[in-house]
Structure 1
Amino acid sequence: MLSIQLTPFPVLQTERLTLRPLTTDDAPTIRFFRSDDAFLRYIHREKEPTLEQAHRHLALLEQLLVNNEGIMWGLSPKTDQALLGTICLWNLQPAAHRAEVGYGLHPQYEKQGLMAEALAAVVRYSFEQLRLHSLEAHVDPENIASIRLLEKQGFVREGYFRESSYFQGQFLDTAVYTLLTKER
């Protein structure tokens, strides 16, 4: 079984971004991410519109990190600590050398290639530092931008689950994309 160690927190750098730990100062932006219609349009979960909920979410993320069960990076420009988005590894499966990647970017920063930079850095970290064999991503099949992002990184669609979840009175499809270390 793979031994996964996520601490000390691995700060990652890209050409334009620092992938850093989230702090309590990020709570207002986390609240936005967890309650904004545009940000959540392809994320099927109930809104969490309060600052208290954002602080609870940050505490949960900290506990996942301490337990080596997941890690979430905040995406900030190299010039300051503004939180532009997040990217995470979660659903860690050490026995299978596998993890799931998830991400989100503030709508105002879309279509600038920022998430492509962040995802490339997390893929490198996952395969080179954590020694994972594969990554997977679960995507709303209508989220064409996310699918293009994954495909540009070499992810391949492995599954399409029709009406696999139920949210707000409707059944929703899910596409699963994976990347193997030997494919990058």
Structure 2
Amino acid sequence: MKQVIQTARLLLRQLHDDDAKALFVIWSNDDVTRHMNIQPFSTEAEALHMIRLINDLPTAFRYAVIYEGETVGSAGFNHVAADFSYVEIGYELSHKMWRQGFGTEIIQALIHEATRAGYQAMHAKIDPDNIASVKLVEKLGFYYKDHQIEEGAAVLRYELVLH
């Protein structure tokens, strides 16, 4: 995957330790984490640990989302299949960035990058209560595949065929 992706308004680049402070603020916000598979963080050290954990995963790639020089979220490929059959995406943004089209811009960039890299499909797992994300992926052409229970919580699985 590309190390840096530029969109009209955003820069997506690999997560760095320097992002811990900004991501702690985001990952400690109940409004943000209620749709994620994590509990709100209580220390910046937890954010730093998460960044390092993500960066060490051989089957994932996560970007810091930068807007006007500020880290406002993260996005990327939560799982990358070795056989190029699919990638699974995820993203979260600071609450102040919601409802401004940034989610659309991010997912379009991830679609473009996964297509460029030769992946066949893209998956998204979404909390059933996250209506905004459901509408977003549907608008971008994803179709509902099924639902699962993961770690005791329901998730909706969506798919977009890339090739």
User: TM-score when scaled to structure 1?
Assistant: 0.82
CA contact (8 A) 2:23 2:72 kept: no
Q: How many residues align?
A: 163
Look up the SS of the partner of 2:32 in the other structure: coil
From 101, 105, 108, the equivalent of 1:113 is 101
Pair 1:58 & 2:75 matched = no
CA contact (8 A) 1:32 1:49 kept: no
From 87, 92, 102, the equivalent of 2:80 is 92
Give the whole-Å Cα distance in 2 for the aligned partners of 1:121 and 1:151: 16
Pair 1:72 & 2:59 matched = no
Aligned to 2:23: 30
Unmatched tracts of structure 1, length 5 or more:
1-5
Look up the SS of the partner of 1:108 in the other structure: helix
Give the whole-Å Cα distance in 2 for the aligned partners of 1:71 and 1:96: 14
Pair 1:181 & 2:162 matched = yes
From 114, 136, 151, the equivalent of 2:138 is 151
Pair 1:46 & 2:33 matched = no
Q: RMSD in angstroms over aligned alpha carbons?
A: 1.6
Look up the SS of the partner of 1:141 in the other structure: coil
Give the whole-Å Cα distance in 1 for the aligned partners of 2:147 and 2:48: 34
Give the whole-Å Cα distance in 2 for the aligned partners of 1:37 and 1:134: 31
Give the whole-Å Cα distance in 1 for the aligned partners of 2:54 and 2:41: 15
From 123, 138, 153, the equivalent of 2:111 is 123
Query: Displacement of 1:33 after TM fit?
Result: 2.6
CA contact (8 A) 2:23 2:47 kept: yes
Pair 1:14 & 2:7 matched = yes
CA contact (8 A) 2:13 2:63 kept: yes
Whose Rg is larger? Answer: 1
Look up the SS of the partner of 2:33 in the other structure: coil
Give the whole-Å Cα distance in 2 for the aligned partners of 1:89 and 1:120: 13
Report percent identity of matched pairs.
25
User: TM-score when scaled to structure 2?
Assistant: 0.91
